[in-house]
Amino acid sequence: MPEEPLTVQHLSESELLARIFPRLHHSPGVLLGPGDDAALIAAPDGRALISIDTQTQDQDFRLEWRNGYRTTGFDVGWKAAAQNLSDINAMGGSATSLVVSLTMPPETAVEWVEAFADGLTAAIVGLGASDCSVAGGDLGRGRELAVTVAVVGTLAGVAPVLRSGAKAGDVVAVSGTLGRAAAGWALLESDIQFDNLSSELRSLVVNQCRPMPPLAAGPLAARTGATAMMDISDGLLRDGSRLAGASNVILDFDPVALKTYAASLEPAAAVLGREAMRWVLGGGEDHGLLATFPAGIQLPQGFTAIGSVQAVVEPPGSGVRIAGQTADTVGWDHFAD
Amino acid sequence: MPEEPLTVQHLSESELLARIFPRLHHSPGVLLGPGDDAALIAAPDGRALISIDTQTQDQDFRLEWRNGYRTTGFDVGWKAAAQNLSDINAMGGSATSLVVSLTMPPETAVEWVEAFADGLTAAIVGLGASDCSVAGGDLGRGRELAVTVAVVGTLAGVAPVLRSGAKAGDVVAVSGTLGRAAAGWALLESDIQFDNLSSELRSLVVNQCRPMPPLAAGPLAARTGATAMMDISDGLLRDGSRLAGASNVILDFDPVALKTYAASLEPAAAVLGREAMRWVLGGGEDHGLLATFPAGIQLPQGFTAIGSVQAVVEPPGSGVRIAGQTADTVGWDHFAD
């Protein structure tokens, strides 16, 4: 008879924490880590960026997908860290610490929680945020798995890059991938079993489960004079229209530039009978950056021009266009249907 | 026919946010508030305290209790803010900002969410943390209501007060109430309908649903030379044994001093056939402070001496005692049975 897996209801909170702590990365910016009522972290320039994000089972991820893939604790830890690190990146900052609240059913395997901690660490280190560490957290019970991460970051003396600074004449650029996570979601929700996917298609699933925000790009963009920036979490068109609205401008995307992103998704589109460009325009969760830069400057490393900023000259006002044509702001949630 | 209440599924995220934002308190320490990927807050002494806490429906609160009381959005907002503000207080700091993640079923009434925002603001202002404000947040869907708050605070240049600094000879003191929230929980879980309670007993229920951490006391204790401090969230004996363990000392409580706290709970104890002293010793969630101070100094305002710190001289080592007798470290979760 196989041994029953050890579940969290068999351990006290302190026993569970004793299994988690050794798996976490440590950085010197955490002046006082877990063990007291609050952690103390360095905020060297006298300011701190802060953001919070929750992932809930069956809303943000499924434990088992239609194509047979099972989301691991490692995936959930990675994604929770990655999407929060991305929020700091999008302001031009670097993350210094995470605090993590994990709510789980009592029958959750202890192994799952250990893998979750490993995923947090792997994302922090693997994405190049090694000045960041988990400063504290909270464990609790609930009917469904839910992870909330709050992230703190530093701007290291530079001004934050807001959504509202784009000016007519600026270049629109992106860093990171577009549409890969959405293609991965479509594969996860398809009838084609994960085990039967080619390694090329599997890598799209990995992009959905373990996004790779380009964390060097945000601070570099801030130092290079980006006029506006944000994280692409809900899709290029939807997030682009938010940036356009905040800046009261029009973002006009170049379809030729976007086709390059679609090209790499054609194999998945062919297998699923879908249109790759819709993933590029509507797919979120790659957590790339959308930014605008003054015309004429050399774009910082990792950014690719995909369009230009234009002044609003007539109704319906600010928004996104593709080669001058109005584009529907279809985003990830319509897209996921 | 009564009108159907407006629920969150009828509004877009931005429509819901537009109803929440005007209800939030603003403070100058939030340099950049909601609207970008992260908020920017001041950390004037180059450091920031941070903590995170989750409350989940049916774990941390019931929407409807056995005694008929219905938890309001205001209650949940108040408590979420209060217990996080308390974590900063327990380090000797003052909160500067909260980020709030609210996960809710689609059928949650919009009115409930508005009351939740009002509760956050009422706690911040009512508890005297008016330099603190909500800097950002996240709204999401789930099968159950869950609220996670991360709080950031400042020590204003002083050293944090840890759990590990208590020394033999120190005075043990508390600030705030003891056992009132636990008595309130017992009333909520009883058969005596809320509407039939006297105003004195109702006030205990209010202490459970809207705790009143003594937020002036933490920074004052830090400036007065407290050697150790923590928030009493799981009960005096359990939290006391944690502080004793971190400091490797014995906390010896004076039963005469504790009886004063029990006296005010006697009416509730009589009605329920319970023992008031058990609430004082085992009840958490009042979010008072447990602190130690060097002998001979005048205790800061709001603190009452309840015992002394003694050296560990023999097995079983550190822990809590009552008049020299070993005390079981019964805490809130045993207690709530």
Which DSSP symbol is given to A61?
Answer: B
Number of domains in chain A: 2
| Same domain (yes/no): B228, B320 | yes
Which pLDDT tens digit goes with each residue over B268-312? Answer: 999 999 999 999 999 989 999 999 999 999 999 999 999 999 999
pLDDT of residue B316: 75
> What residues contact residue A149 under an 8 Å CB cut-off, 6+ apart?
A52, A53, A80, A81, A83, A84, A98, A99, A100, A101
Give the orientation angle of helix B73-89 with respect to helix B217-224, to 10 degrees: 0
Q: Do A59 and B140 touch (CB under 8 A)?
A: yes
CB atoms within 10 A of CB B208: 25
Q: Tell me, yes or no, if A213 comes closer than 8 A to chain B by beta carbon.
A: no
Question: Considering only alpha carbons, which residue of chain A is nearest residue B51?
Answer: A38
State the pairing for strand pair A303-311/A171-175: antiparallel
Q: Tell me, yes or no, if A186 comes closer than 8 A to chain B by beta carbon.
A: no
Q: Is residue B187 in some structural domain?
A: yes
Pair of tokens at residue A289: 């950056």
Pair of tokens at residue B181: 């929230």
Q: Is residue B163 in some structural domain?
A: no
Instruction: Using the predicted structure, report yes or no on whether residue A297 has a pLDDT greater than 80.
Output: yes
Which pLDDT tens digit goes with each residue over B167-189? Answer: 999 999 999 999 999 999 999 99
Q: Is residue B290 in some structural domain?
A: yes
| Same domain (yes/no): B148, B283 | no
Under 8 Å between Cβ of B108 and B74: no
Residue ranges of B 242-281 with Cβ closer than 8 A to chain A: 246
Give the residue from A154, A189, A222 where a domain finishes: A154
Q: Is residue A88 in some structural domain?
A: yes
| Same domain (yes/no): B213, B304 | yes
Contacts of B165 in chain A (CB under 8 A): none
Lowest-confidence region among A222-236, B163-177, B312-326: B312-326
Torsion of CA A89, A94, A96, A102, to 10 degrees: 10
Question: Which residues are paired to B324 by β-bridges?
Answer: none
Q: Is residue B233 in some structural domain?
A: yes
Under 8 Å between Cβ of B133 and B265: no
Instruction: Using the predicted structure, report yes or no on whether residue A334 has a pLDDT greater than 90.
Output: no
| Same domain (yes/no): B196, B105 | no
| Same domain (yes/no): A88, A222 | no
Question: Which residues are paired to B140 by β-bridges?
Answer: B103
DSSP string, A239-288: HHHHHHHHHTEEEEE-HHHHHHHHHTTHHHHHHHT--HHHHHHH---S-E
| Same domain (yes/no): A53, A118 | yes
pLDDT of residue A327: 77
Under 8 Å between Cβ of A320 and A245: no
pLDDT of residue A115: 98
- Helix spans in chain B (H): 13-20, 73-89, 110-126, 180-188, 199-209, 217-224, 236-247, 255-263, 266-272, 276-282, 332-335
Q: Which residue has the higher pLDDT, B329 or A56?
A: A56
CB atoms within 10 A of CB A191: 8
Contacts of A51 in chain B (CB under 8 A): 37-39, 99, 136
Torsion of CA A66, A69, A72, A77, to 10 degrees: -70
Confidence of residue B333 (pLDDT cuts 50, 70, 90): very low
Task: Look up the CATH number of the domain holding residue B193.
Answer: 3.90.650.10
Contacts of A93 in chain B (CB under 8 A): 38
Under 8 Å between Cβ of A76 and A112: no
Q: Is residue A162 in some structural domain?
A: no
| Same domain (yes/no): A291, A191 | yes
Which pLDDT tens digit goes with each residue over B29-85? Answer: 999 999 999 999 999 999 999 999 999 999 888 999 999 999 999 999 999 999 999
The alpha carbon of residue B248 is apart from the nearest alpha carbon of chain A, in Å, by: 14
Select the residue from B13, B31, B52 to test the A interface by mutation, using most A Cβ atoms within 10 A: B52
Domain that holds residue A272: 171-335
Tell me which H or E stretch contains A110: helix A110-126
Select the residue from A32, A36, A102, A144 to test the B interface by mutation, using most B Cβ atoms within 10 A: A36
| Same domain (yes/no): B119, B177 | no
Query: Which of B44, B50, B100 faces A152 most closely, judged by CB atoms?
Result: B50
Q: What is the mean pLDDT of residues A35-57?
A: 96
State the pairing for strand pair A47-56/A30-32: unpaired
Q: Is residue B31 in some structural domain?
A: yes
Confidence of residue B14 (pLDDT cuts 50, 70, 90): confident
Query: How far is residue A326's CA from residue A312's CA, in Å, rounded to a whole number?
Result: 13
The alpha carbon of residue A204 is apart from the nearest alpha carbon of chain B, in Å, by: 25
Query: How far is residue A166's CA from residue A164's CA, in Å, rounded to a whole number?
Result: 6
Give the residue from A105, A122, A154 where a domain finishes: A154
Q: Is the peptide bond before A316 cis (omega within 30 degrees of 0)?
A: yes
Share of residues in chain A with pLDDT > 90 (%) = 89
Give the residue from A127, A154, A181 where a domain finishes: A154
- Helix spans in chain A (H): 13-20, 73-89, 110-126, 180-188, 199-209, 217-224, 236-247, 255-263, 266-272, 276-282, 332-335
Which pLDDT tens digit goes with each residue over A73-91? Answer: 999 999 999 999 999 999 9
Share of residues in chain B with pLDDT > 70 (%) = 96
Amino acid at B59: Q
Lowest-confidence region among A28-32, A111-115, A287-291, B210-214: A28-32
Which pLDDT tens digit goes with each residue over B86-137? Answer: 999 999 999 999 999 999 999 999 999 999 999 999 999 999 998 999 999 9
Q: B161, B95, B100: which is closest to B129 by C-alpha?
A: B95
Pair of tokens at residue A258: 């976007």
The alpha carbon of residue A267 is apart from the nearest alpha carbon of chain B, in Å, by: 33
Instruction: Using the predicted structure, report yes or no on whether residue A333 has a pLDDT greater than 90.
Output: no
Which pLDDT tens digit goes with each residue over A311-323? Answer: 998 777 899 999 9
Q: Is residue A45 in some structural domain?
A: yes
Residue keyed to tokens 């009886």:
B259
Which pLDDT tens digit goes with each residue over B196-238? Answer: 999 999 999 999 999 999 999 999 999 999 999 999 999 999 9
State the pairing for strand pair A146-154/B133-141: unpaired
The alpha carbon of residue A60 is apart from the nearest alpha carbon of chain B, in Å, by: 9
Q: Do A43 and B40 touch (CB under 8 A)?
A: no
Q: Do B231 and A39 touch (CB under 8 A)?
A: no
Summary mean pLDDT of chain A: 93
Instruction: Using the predicted structure, report yes or no on whether residue B327 has a pLDDT greater than 90.
Output: no
Give the orientation angle of helix A110-126 with respect to helix A13-20, to 10 degrees: 40
Confidence of residue B332 (pLDDT cuts 50, 70, 90): very low
Instruction: Using the predicted structure, report yes or no on whether residue A328 has a pLDDT greater than 70.
Output: no
pLDDT of residue B315: 76
| Same domain (yes/no): A175, A249 | yes
Summary mean pLDDT of chain B: 94
Q: Tell me, yes or no, if B151 comes closer than 8 A to chain A by beta carbon.
A: yes
Tell me which H or E stretch contains A15: helix A13-20
Query: Which of B44, B88, B144 faces A142 most closely, judged by CB atoms?
Result: B144
pLDDT of residue B330: 46
Q: Do A38 and B93 touch (CB under 8 A)?
A: yes
Burial class (CB in 10 A: 0-12, 13-18, 19+), B280: buried
Query: Which of A51, A54, A141 faces B136 most closely, judged by CB atoms?
Result: A51
Q: Do A48 and B41 touch (CB under 8 A)?
A: yes
Share of residues in chain B with pLDDT > 90 (%) = 90
Query: How far is residue B288's CA from residue B279's CA, in Å, rounded to a whole number?
Result: 14
Query: Which of B46, B135, B246 faces A50 most closely, judged by CB atoms?
Result: B135
Contacts of A80 in chain B (CB under 8 A): none
Contacts of A44 in chain B (CB under 8 A): 46
Contacts of A91 in chain B (CB under 8 A): 36-38, 40
Which pLDDT tens digit goes with each residue over A171-225? Answer: 999 999 999 999 999 999 999 999 999 999 999 999 999 999 999 999 999 999 9
Phi, psi for B227 (deg, rounded to 5): -90, -25
Instruction: Using the predicted structure, report yes or no on whether residue B20 has a pLDDT greater than 60.
Output: yes
pLDDT of residue B313: 84
| Same domain (yes/no): A148, A176 | no
pLDDT of residue A273: 96
| Same domain (yes/no): A193, A102 | no
Instruction: Using the predicted structure, report yes or no on whether residue A31 has a pLDDT greater than 50.
Output: yes
Pair of tokens at residue A17: 């924490």
Task: Look up the CATH number of the domain holding residue A99.
Answer: 3.30.1330.10
Instruction: Using the predicted structure, report yes or no on whether residue B314 has a pLDDT greater than 80.
Output: no
Q: B205, B199, B243, B215: which is closest to B83 by C-alpha?
A: B215
**Number of A–B residue contacts, CB under 8 Å:** 200
Which DSSP symbol is given to A295?
Answer: T
Q: Do A140 and B56 touch (CB under 8 A)?
A: yes
| Same domain (yes/no): B149, B251 | no
